[in-house]
Amino acid sequence: MRIRKLLIIIVALLAAYGILVAVAELPPYGMADNPVHNHVSERYINKALDETGVTNMVTAIVLDYRAYDTMFETIVLFTAALAVVITLKVSKRKEKG
Amino acid sequence: MRDFILKRVAVIILPLMSIYGFYVILHGHVSPGGSFAGGIIVGLSFITYSTVYGLERGKVKLPERILTLVESYGTLWYGIMGIVGILKGAPFLSNKLAGFNLGEPGSLTSGGLISLLGIGVGIRVASTIITLFYAMGEEES
Amino acid sequence: MHFTSADYWIMVLLLTLVIASLSMLFIKDLLHAVIVFGVYSLIMALIWLLMNTPDLAITEAAAGICTTVLMMAVIFRTSRKEE
Amino acid sequence: MKTLLGKLVINYPYLFAVVLFIIGTIIVLTRDNLFKKLIGINIMESAIFIVFIAAGNIRGGAVPILDGGRADTVYINPLPSALMLTGIVVSVSVTAFALALIIRLYKSYGTTSARRIAEMRNEVLKHDSSHQS
């Protein structure tokens, strides 16, 4: 068991080195001309007020531009609550009967 | 839990927590925050009530039957608000194309569909959190 | 490349996160581990406030407390010791 | 500053996120207790969140809430924070369902240690197979 834990830690550290070498080649953090800030975010920043009428852009994206996403996200939460209630209530009924 | 100080403090704090949660839900489109955070805060206020006063009194105050109804119709509310767009001849879940009044930016009534959807999502997140706590907090089944 | 003061604060908070998650490896009492996890999500909310996303900060603070409360409720139903 | 360490100091949020991810992986893989595994999964998720939010941040930028007339404001990218808002809610759902499964396993086996649960299952399976033959 001890050898297994040691092996896991060694493999994890090797993986960490690999990921760090990859991460170091990302564009520098916090610069305004990174490739992340492309035309998509420019459109959201410039047009959000005209097209949705709200000042908070994150809410505009979550509830207007990507409203389908939020709809299925609420369904995910609903399914989680359903699964929890089913998992716990079925066992109770079995113990009673 | 039968502590005197906890009960008195809870009486003072609980209404403020609920009001703050509804404030975060209603102001989600003009300030930081949003329906998810507000819904979780409203749910946590009821969780505090049923932690301090016992789960039985919490269930008397907010029965599981009402929670189930709110949860189901909160999910349905989202779909109904989307179908309004189809009835007006626009795509599903469309806001400006469906003719909602966008209002003056920065005011509480701005955003049209967005604030309506936010209220629905917030209330159903709150009921989901309370349902999860009721299901997990039961002492002995 | 020059760092502002917000950068140094983010570094300190991220270092605290690493220490908290390392302590998760060695704590034997599960209740203490869950309390450390609550502190972890609170520090994470502070980091997101410093990274200019206050929406995410409020949501993370609320969701972290919610997760902590649920975990505590389950720990009181099951065993507290890590075997 | 072209060495690996120099580049990592410039990209310090990614560095800490990788460290957190690896620590979460080690917790998940080496601890027997199911609660510890759940906490490790949560740590890994938060490391992913840090990577996304740091990618969308601009040093000295403004919060993505419009403030009226000023035209020269540099807003940060609002898209990663909207995506991670979804991620947080999914992580809460996953945690809740995992907790329900932990309660169920504790009722059946009387322990929250993954290794002992596996041992008990092996015994039961061995007993069943010998009984059938």
Q: How many domains does chain B have?
A: 1
Q: How many domains does chain C have?
A: 1
Q: Which of A26, A32, A56 sits opposite D65 (nearest CB)?
A: A56
**What residues of D are in contact with residue A90 (Cβ under 8 Å)?**
none
Task: State whether residue D90 sits within 8 Å of chain B by CB.
Answer: no
Q: Which of C15, C37, C78 sits opposite D112 (nearest CB)?
A: C78
Residue C72 three-state SS: helix
Amino acid B79: pLDDT: 86
Judge whether B49 and B58 are in contact, CB under 8 Å.
Answer: yes
- B101: containing domain: 4-137
- C66: containing domain: 28-83
In a domain, C7, yes or no: no
User: Tens-of-pLDDT digits for all 141 residues of chain B?
Assistant: 568 899 999 999 999 999 999 999 999 888 888 899 999 999 999 999 998 988 888 899 899 899 989 998 988 898 888 888 889 888 888 888 888 888 888 888 888 888 888 999 999 999 999 999 998 887 654
Q: Which of B31, B34, B136 sits opposite D103 (nearest CB)?
A: B136
In a domain, C9, yes or no: no
- A32: containing domain: 2-96
Judge whether D62 and D73 are in contact, CB under 8 Å.
Answer: yes
In a domain, C67, yes or no: yes
Judge whether D55 and B21 are in contact, CB under 8 Å.
Answer: no
Residue B88 three-state SS: coil
In a domain, C76, yes or no: yes
Residue B96 three-state SS: coil
Q: Is A55 exposed, middle or buried (0-12, 13-18, 19+ CB in 10 A)?
A: buried
The whole-angstrom distance between residue B24's C-alpha and the CA centroid of its chain comes to 10
Task: State whether residue D124 sits within 8 Å of chain C by CB.
Answer: no
Task: Please write the tens of the pLDDT for every residue from A32-68.
Answer: 888 988 998 888 888 888 888 888 889 999 988 888 8
Task: Please write the tens of the pLDDT for every residue from D90-107.
Answer: 999 999 999 999 999 998
Chains in contact with A, where contact means 3 or more Cβ–Cβ distances below 8 Å, are: B, C, D
- Measured CA distances, D17 to A20, A81, C15, D39 (Å): 10, 30, 10, 16
Task: Please write the tens of the pLDDT for every residue from D100-127.
Answer: 999 999 988 989 999 999 999 999 898 8
Judge whether B32 and A57 are in contact, CB under 8 Å.
Answer: no
Q: How many domains does chain A have?
A: 1
Task: State whether residue B136 sits within 8 Å of chain D by CB.
Answer: yes
Residue D62 main-chain phi, psi, to 5 deg: -105, 155
Domains of chain D, with CATH numbers? 4-63+73-132 (1.10.287.3510)
Instruction: Find residues 19-78 of chain A whose CB sits inside 8 Å of chain B.
Output: 49, 51-56, 58-60, 62-64, 67-68, 70-71, 74-75, 77-78
CB–CB contact C78 D13 (8 Å): no
